[in-house]
Amino acid sequence: MQIIIYDNAHQVAESAAKWVKELINKKPAPVLGLATGSTPISLYKQLVEQHKAQGLSFKNVTTFNLDEYHQIDPLNPQSYRSFMDKNLFSHVDIDMNNTFLPTCAVGENPRVQGLAYEENIKKHGGIDLQILGIGANGHIGFNEPTSSLSSRTRIKTLTQQTISDNSRLFKPNEKQPTMAMTMGIATIMNARYVLLMATGANKANAVKDMITGGVSAMCPASALQMHENAIILLDKAAASELGEQNYYQWAESENRKLIEHYGYFHNY
């Protein structure tokens, strides 16, 4: 794991945007894994700005989102499809036919849908760079604690903690879904690079468990300890429970020197 600690959430988003931009500029047909939630909103804002100001083009980009609520109408403003349209897709030149979410509509079989999503990712050559947030309970995607570390795209029942954490996004009279289709932990682990963004003090314990705890289904993000290319971008608040903060900061400044000398090398 490469742990990078920034002063604030804006810098975390700026850094994540650089990763996305590098992938888009480097690979002719990049495949990007996307997340929803509050954390990546500022990343998407920066990408939209770069599209408008600097011509960053999404024409050849294919995207796979981590998750989508079970049986939700894509036009429902609470759907993750609507979230992605609002925060990214409708502001850039992406071909909407190349944007995928793990959906399961009424009447569809979640098992069939899950397998088809996995096949579609494979058909596109796999995910180059997967953007992740982290839940306060250590979930990635909607892989809640207890999720198998070998899981694939499937339906998951949300925990009470996640339902209550996300209730801020729903109006009092609005029905909040309790199930979602999500990429599995093994699906996420197959991405060539994973870029996890965590900001705010409410993520500090989950971040500590992910980085320094044992690898366990009780903290799904801890599986990333076993990923060859996991980059963890934190603001100071999210890093506040880590005992090795000075080491990570020093290691990152040493790493910068290598980058200055050799340039970036990402093996997409």
Contacting residues toward ligand F6R, per CB under 6 A: 35-39, 66-67, 133-135, 139-141
**Least distance (Å) from ligand F6R to the CB of residue 25?**
25
Q: Is 67 a catalytic residue?
A: yes
Cβ within 8 Å of residue 162, ≥6 positions away: 135, 137, 139, 142, 144
**Cβ proximity to ligand F6R, 66 vs 219, nearer residue:** 66
Nearer to ligand F6R, 60 or 200 (CB): 200
Rg (CA), the chain: 18
Q: In this structure, are residues 40 and 9 in contact, taking their beta carbons and an 8 Å threshold? A: no
Rounded Cα distance between 143 and 136, Å, is: 12
Catalytic pick from 68, 118, 128, 144? 144
144 is catalytic: yes
The residue whose Cβ lies closest to ligand F6R is 133
Look at residues 30, 54, 46, 33 and name the one whose alpha carbon lies nearest to residue 100: 33
Catalytic residue (one of 137, 143, 190, 227) = 137
Could you tell me where the DSSP H helices lie in the chain? Answer: 9-26, 41-54, 80-87, 110-123, 160-166, 185-189, 204-212, 245-262
Nearest distance from C-beta of residue 137 to ligand F6R, angstroms? 9
Cβ at position 54, least distance to ligand F6R in Å: 26
Indicate the residue among 110 and 135 with the shorter CB distance to ligand F6R.
Answer: 135
| Nearest distance, CB of residue 244 and ligand F6R, angstroms | 23
67, 118, 128, 209: the active-site residue: 67
The DSSP bridge partners found for residue 83 are none
Q: Do residues 74 and 104 touch, judged by C-beta distance below 8 A?
A: no
The question of whether 254 is a catalytic residue gets the answer: no
Q: Which is nearer to ligand F6R, 168 or 257 (CB)?
A: 168
Distance CA(259)–CA(129), nearest Å, equals 19
| Residue 137: active-site member | yes
- Our CB check for ligand F6R shows the closer of 174 and 244 to be 174
Q: Name every residue whose Cβ is closer than 8 Å to that of residue 231 and which is 6 or more positions away in sequence.
A: 1, 2, 4, 19, 193, 194, 195, 196
87, 139, 209, 227: the active-site residue: 139
- Work out how close the CB of 151 gets to ligand F6R at its nearest, in angstroms, rounded to a whole number: 14
Catalytic residues: 67, 137, 139, 144
